[in-house]
Structure formats: structure tokens, C-alpha cells
Structure 1
């Protein structure tokens, strides 16, 4: 019986770092993707609240409520946690107070600062957003999207980029 012919073994080329131009292009693509993902996230939240018959909140306000969570914080603390500009936080917090989703009171130590926290209605909104995110995480996990590369590795990379950007901002000032 003739022996099967094996193809010659070829050496695997060593992995080399990508050229700088390719790396820059990949970085720029990541930035564009991140921006699109953020807009899509807002669209998803908008659609969810429209399905629930809640047209009184913008997606930004719903995310602000979600990020406020169970904490009692100042607007400045909330700004450092999320993706909000200073005037955006103030405007949206004012609207959320008017709508009854957030309550506020002056700080005892610094009367200029205002501490905010969710009302019962705000907690219900936070719970809806939490449920939406949990449904999406389950669907993505079932599809395998969160596995290759592992979402934890992706998050680690984004935290490194965040740290680099923060260092750049501090260096400027």
C-alpha cells in the first residue's frame, strides 16, 4: 500500500509588528467605530423607551440616570464618571429634576455644590436600562461575539487608551 505524500513543512513566518501607517489607520478606524457605537447605543435606548411609551426622556438623559445609579453625587462627580460635558450635565440634571427622575439638595459643607440622587421614578428608568443592557449582553454572549477576543481583553485595551488620553490631557495643562 503506497504511503500518502505529505506536503513539505513550511516554516511559519515570525509575527512582526504592523507598519506604523497600518497601526495609525487601525487606530483611526477604532475611533470612528467607537463614535458610531456610542450613537447606536443612544438609538437603541431611544427605541427601547419609545416601545415602552416613554418619550419624555432623551437617550442622554436615560444614560445619565443609568450612570447615576444608586449613588448620591455632585454634578462634577457625575461628569467625571460619564461621557458628559459640563453644561450638558447641568442642563440635563435640571430637566431630570423637573421631570421628577432626580432629586437634589445643597451640600452642607459647600453650599455652592448640589448633590443629586434618583427618585423612585428615576430608579425605574435605571432598571429598564439595566434590563436592556442585560438582554443585549445575553444575546451577544450566546452569539459568541464577546469571546474572540474576549470582551475583558477589549475592555483592558480601552482602559489603557483611556489612561493614555487622561495623561495627555494632564500633560497639556
Structure 2
């Protein structure tokens, strides 16, 4: 059995050095800033694509709501929990999308308080536009080799781990 001092020294050897922790902290802060900027840039890319096509009726957030809805029929709450609509009011945007004819909504038979939504044919067209934009970007990035170092699937796995950590932190608060 190890003495307390031996255990302490062994634990210190395993623990990252203070400089290493500081470096990881700085890298984490930089990642947070990059994520925020990338999200804003993604919204700008969607906006520019629709402007290029002469479509000025949708905001980028509305286009992403349509894209994330996809082929599914879900409740507004499910849609909100799936997406990232940076400070937007999902209920307001859904009402606008229904009034513009991009989304069909109806009350759920089992729970009349719940509203189920799905894309109309016009909504499917918008979804294809966003999908084609993302597809072109993915192909360009693949050809350039940007997605290979590190492999994007590893980056995604790390992002999912951070997402899970954040989710647990939020749940822990309540």
C-alpha cells in the first residue's frame, strides 16, 4: 500500500502540468470563439446564397429551420431542441413560415395543445437549396484536403463530447 506522500507524488506525475492546463484553457477559449464565428458565417453563407438566387423572403434562420425540419413531422418543441437558431424565436419563425406557405401545421390528434409541423412542397424546395449549398461546400473542402487533417469525423466526435459535457452542466444547474 502506498503512503499518502507516495500517492500524492504519483498523482502529480499523472496530472497535466500547470502550463499544459493553461494552454488547453486558451485553446478551449479559442474554440468557443471559432464556433460562434463559424455559426455567424454559416448564416451569412445561407443569406448570400438566397440573395444570389433573388430570394429575399426568408431569413437565414428560417432557411435553417426548414433545412433541419427535413422530411420529418415534429412538434415545435422537438424542432427547437434539434436546431441552433441563435437567439431567434422559433415560434415566431414557424408562424411566419406557415403564413408564407413553407410549412404545414396541424394540431396533434392525441394532444390538442401540441402542433405538428412538416414542410410543404415550397419548403422542400428551400431545403434542397440549402442542402445543395452545403453539398457544394463539402465537396470543395474535401477536394482541398481541409477535411483530412485532422479527420472531420474525429473533430465531430470531440464536438459531440463537448456538447454532451455542456448539456450535463446545464442539467446539473437545475
The answer to whether the superposition gives a TM-score over 0.5 is yes
| Aligned equivalent of 1:53 | 54
* Matched residue count: 158
Q: Which runs of 5 or more structure 2 residues have no equivalent in the other structure?
A: 1-15
Q: In 1, distance between residues paired with 2:49 and 2:172?
A: 41
Structure 1: stretches of 5+ with no match in the other structure = 1-15
Name the SS of the counterpart of 1:19 in structure 2.
helix
Structure 1 residue 20, shift from structure 2 partner: 1.3
- Between structure 1 and structure 2, the one with the greater Rg is 1
Measured after TM superposition, the shift of residue 84 of structure 1 is: 3.4
More helix by share: 2
**SS state at 1:116 partner:** strand
2:147 is aligned to: 146
For residues 134 and 87 of structure 2, the distance between their equivalents in structure 1, rounded to whole angstroms, comes to: 26
Give me the TM-score of the superposition, normalised by structure 1.
0.88
Q: Which residue of 1 aligns with 2:124?
A: 123
Q: What's the RMSD between the two structures over aligned residues?
A: 1.5
**1-side partners of 2:31 and 2:165: how far apart?**
15
Equivalent residue number for residue 92 of structure 2: 91
Runs of 4+ displaced beyond 3 Å: 84-87
How far apart, in 1, do the equivalents of 2:85 and 2:151 lie? 28
Does structure 1 retain, via aligned residues, the 8 Å contact 2:44–2:60?
A: yes
**Does the 8 A contact of 2:67 with 2:126 survive in 1?**
yes
**Which digits, 9 at most, give the CA deviation of each residue in 1:32-79, with x for residues without a partner?**
000000000000000000011110000000000000000000010001
TM-score normalized with structure 2 length? 0.87
Q: Structure 1 residues 129 and 151, CA, compared in 2 at 3 Å: closer, same or farther?
A: same
Whether 2:90 is the aligned partner of 1:79: answer no
Aligned to 1:33: 34
Provide the C-alpha distance between the structure 2 equivalents of 1:38 and 1:48, rounded to a whole number of angstroms. 15
